[in-house]
Amino acid sequence: MSQTPTTQRQYQLQRSGDAPAVLKLVEAPVRQPGNHEILVRVRAVSLNRRDVYVKLGHYPGPKPATLVPLSDGAGEVIATGSGVTRVRPGDRVAAIFFQQWLEGRPRPEYMASALGGGIDGMLSQYVTLNENGVVKLPASLSWEEAATLPCAGVTAWNALVTRGRTQPGDFVLLLGTGGVSITGLQLAHALGARPIVTSSSNEKLARARELGAFSAINYRDSPDWEQAVRAATGGAGVQQALEVGGKGTLPKTLACLGAGGHVALIGGLSSFGGEIPSGQLMGNNATASGIYVGSRADFEALLAFLEKHPIHPAIDQVFDFEKAAAAYDYLDSGALFGKVVIRL
């Protein structure tokens, strides 16, 4: 085996009791790859809203005293353990969110395999993963672009395509201009659909139009924004909605849904929860899906689509590794449009 490093710099969330965790940069050992494992030199990672919840201790699941944060990262395979056949040194890869959900239906036990949640994540110079826990990247994606995809990209893909079966011409509702919504906008546009974006900022709405938004609505200026969404569809309503707002937005999102529409229940930016009116969905032949990221097969389907439709994920800011705390602050500031990346 070629020479591999034995120590590295790594971020850890260090937690004591119920208090928010503290982000610390530490020297840590590099674990050499064992049977069916690979060692990856991480080149870029991205943040999701979930990573803020994890740091605060507001995310469901275990809250270990020490956790390497972040689910999303891309890098180069630099060493492989015995028996590895899926990748080789030199391959460019991204990690999959649930290390054990490879394809098909999820199983409850897969949920504990989420990087940066149930197990150590990607904010580390090197990570040791099972060979099954990565996808190979197309040359068209930079490290930074690839690092935006494992959570937000796969979630948007699962919502729009795997579960939503979006068709050309469909109206697609996207709430706000964060990571899932802007990736969803870019994918919906590439699918030939008509994205309708809401935001609290006219400047962000202008940027959404540049990325292909068919209609752009300021939800702060128009508290009854569901009426503006309906009007933008000619009154018929949307065929797809990526519901990231949660309790505060769900009733309005459902009011936007047209006959035969699909709402993907994804997030809780206002707070998690909300009622599903069964009669309304039934009468409309509408579908509501709970979406929790997706499988490796979803990620591979997304990458195959991106090879044919060379979208460049909208990256707002790229931070240096030493400035990881500033990246968290930026994500939390409300200023972001699309994705926040850290380069290693």
Ligand X SMILES: NC(=O)c1ccc[n+]([C@@H]2O[C@H](COP(=O)([O-])OP(=O)(O)OC[C@H]3O[C@@H](n4cnc5c(N)ncnc54)[C@H](OP(=O)(O)O)[C@@H]3O)[C@@H](O)[C@H]2O)c1
- Which residues contact ligand X by CB under 6 A? 48-50, 151-152, 155, 175-181, 199-201, 204, 219, 244-245, 248-249, 266-270, 291-293, 331, 334, 336
Shorter beta-carbon distance to ligand X: residue 30 or 159: 159
Minimal CB distance residue for ligand X:
178
In the complex, what is the shortest distance from the CB of residue 254 to ligand X, in angstroms, rounded to a whole number? 14
Shorter beta-carbon distance to ligand X: residue 93 or 151: 151
Within a 10 A sphere around the Cβ of 111, how many other Cβ atoms? 16
- Residues in CB range of 221: below 8 A, 6 or more apart: none
In the complex, what is the shortest distance from the CB of residue 47 to ligand X, in angstroms, rounded to a whole number? 8
Would you say 58 and 30 are in contact if contact means Cβ atoms under 8 Å apart? no
Shorter beta-carbon distance to ligand X: residue 135 or 152: 152
Shorter beta-carbon distance to ligand X: residue 273 or 334: 334
Strands 257-265 and 287-290: parallel
Would you say 341 and 46 are in contact if contact means Cβ atoms under 8 Å apart? yes
In the complex, what is the shortest distance from the CB of residue 318 to ligand X, in angstroms, rounded to a whole number? 15
In the complex, what is the shortest distance from the CB of residue 46 to ligand X, in angstroms, rounded to a whole number? 9
Shorter beta-carbon distance to ligand X: residue 75 or 178: 178
Shorter beta-carbon distance to ligand X: residue 69 or 179: 179
Would you say 159 and 188 are in contact if contact means Cβ atoms under 8 Å apart? no
In the complex, what is the shortest distance from the CB of residue 289 to ligand X, in angstroms, rounded to a whole number? 10
Shorter beta-carbon distance to ligand X: residue 15 or 49: 49
